[in-house]
Amino acid sequence: MTHRIVQWTSGKVARKALLAVLAHPELELIGLYAHSPDKVGKDAGVLCGAAPVGITATADVGALLALKPDCVLYNPLYPDTAEICRILESGANVVTTSAFLTGWSLDAAGRQQIEAAARKGNASIFGSGMNPGFADLLAAVSTGICQRFRHVLVTESVDVSLFAGDGNMDELGWGSPPDDPGHADRVRQATLVFGDALDLLAELLGVTLDEMRCTTEFAHATRDLALEGRPIAAGHVAGLKVRWQGIVRGRPVLELRQVWVMGPHLEPRWPVEHGWLVEIDGEPKVQTRLTILPHQPDLAKLTIEDLHGLGMIITALPAVNAIPAVCAAAPGIRTYADLPVVTGRGRLLLD
The DSSP annotation for 166-209 comes to: SGGGGGGTTTPPTT-TTHHHHHHHHTTHHHHHHHHHHHHHT---
Together in a domain, 85 and 143 = no
CA nearest neighbour of 111 among 122, 97, 127, 129:
127
Q: Which residues contact 319 (CB under 8 A, 6 or more apart)?
A: 17, 73, 75, 95, 96, 97, 126, 127, 128, 129, 133
Q: Based on the domain organization, do 120 and 135 belong to the same domain?
A: no
Do residues 71 and 326 make contact, with C-beta atoms less than 8 angstroms apart?
Answer: yes
Domain identity same for 282 and 293: yes
Given pLDDT bands bounded at 50, 70 and 90, which one contains residue 350? confident
Rounded CA-CA distance 209/75 in Å is 30
CATH number of the domain residue 44 falls in: 3.40.50.720
Is 177 found in the same domain as 83?
A: no
Examine residue 307 and state whether it is found in any structural domain, yes or no: no
Rounded Cα–Cα distance for residues 182 and 64 (Å): 42
Looking at residue 68, its pLDDT comes to 98
pLDDT value at position 253?
A: 98
Which domain, by its residues, includes 216?
A: 131-299
**pLDDT number for residue 329:** 98
Whose CA is closest to 13, among 241, 326, 317?
317
Q: What angle do CA 104, 110, 114 make, to 5 degrees?
A: 90
Q: Out of 55-69, 137-151, 154-168, 328-342, pick the least confident.
A: 154-168
CA pair distance 203, 139, nearest whole angstrom: 12
Residue 349 lies in a domain: no
For residue range 237-266, list pLDDT tens digits in order.
Answer: 999 999 999 999 999 999 999 999 999 999
pLDDT band of residue 64 (cuts 50, 70, 90) is: very high
304 assigned to some structural domain: no
Q: Span 156-167, mean pLDDT?
A: 92
C-alpha–C-alpha distance, residues 111 and 104, integer Å: 7
The pLDDT score that the predictor gives to residue 231 is: 97
pLDDT value at 300 more than 80? no
What percent of the chain has a predicted confidence (pLDDT) above 90? Answer: 90
Beta bridge partners of 349: none
pLDDT tens-digit readout, 102-149? 999 999 999 999 999 999 999 999 999 999 999 999 999 999 999 999
Shared-domain flag, residues 122 and 156: no
Looking at the chain, the whole-number percentage of residues with pLDDT higher than 70 is: 99
Same domain, 10 and 124: yes
Q: Which pLDDT score, from 0 to 100, does residue 302 have?
A: 77
Residue 340 within a domain: no
* Section 45-64 average pLDDT: 96
Q: How far apart are CA 19 and CA 225, in angstroms?
A: 35
Residues 15 and 96 in one domain: yes
Are residues 152 and 11 part of one domain? no
Q: Do the domain assignments include residue 342?
A: no
**Position 196 confidence tier, pLDDT thresholds 50, 70, 90:** very high
CA distances from 137 to 101, 203, 332 (A): 12, 11, 20
- What integer pLDDT is reported at residue 307 of this predicted model? 82
Which pLDDT value is given to residue 120?
A: 98
CA gap 128, 317 in Å, rounded: 9
174 shares its domain with 287: yes
Those residues with Cβ within 8 angstroms of residue 182's Cβ, 6 or more apart along the chain or in another chain = none
The pLDDT assigned to 102 comes to 97
Q: How many domains does the chain have?
A: 2
Please indicate, yes or no, whether residues 260 and 151 belong to a single structural domain of this protein: yes
- Helix runs in the chain, H state only: 12-23, 44-47, 61-66, 81-89, 108-121, 135-142, 183-190, 193-205, 304-320, 323-327
The verdict on residue 78 lying in a domain is yes
The amino acid occupying position 127 is G
What is the rounded average pLDDT of the residues 25-51?
A: 95
Is 183 in the same domain as 198? yes
- pLDDT at residue 349, as a whole number: 85
Question: Are 186 and 291 contained in the same domain?
Answer: yes
